[in-house]
């Protein structure tokens, strides 16, 4: 969901930027307050919040992936040492 939202914000700013620099069409008024406060400032949270959420979810997924790799390596070491889970169950 965050990626889709960031894509929408990129399209919004990108199309305005493209039309302004390549066709000299401006979709905002030239006043300082209108451009920086309304156009940039009020639309900026729509880019920052999804980016923040996406960044933290990627870090979370990477941490989970590292944990799974550690568990997998421990299970492989145990299996090589002959103390596999199946062998320990047979001993009981």
pLDDT at 88 (0 to 100): 54
b/e code 71-83 from CB counts within 10 Å (16+ = b): eeeeeeeeeeeee
Note if the pTM is more than 0.85: no
Q: Using one digit for the tens of pLDDT, what is the confidence trace for 48-61?
A: 999 999 999 999 99
Confidence of residue 68 (pLDDT cuts 50, 70, 90): very high
**DSSP per position, 17-78:** HHHHHHH---SS-SSHIIIIIIIIITTTHHHHHHHHHHHHHHHHHHHHHHHHHHHHHHHHHH
Of 33-37, 47-51, 70-74, 75-79, the range with the lowest mean pLDDT is: 33-37
The encoded tokens of residue 36 equal 């920086």
């Amino acid at each position: 969901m965050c990626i889709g939202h960031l894509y929408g914000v990129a399209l919004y700013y990108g199309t305005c930027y493209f039309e302004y620099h390549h066709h000299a069409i401006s979709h905002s008024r030239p006043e300082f307050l209108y451009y920086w406060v309304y156009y940039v400032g009020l639309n900026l949270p729509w880019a920052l919040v999804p980016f923040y959420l996406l960044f933290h979810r990627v870090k979370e997924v990477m941490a989970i992936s590292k944990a799974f790799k550690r568990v997998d390596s421990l299970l492989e070491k145990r299996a090589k040492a002959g103390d596999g889970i199946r062998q320990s169950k047979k001993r009981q």
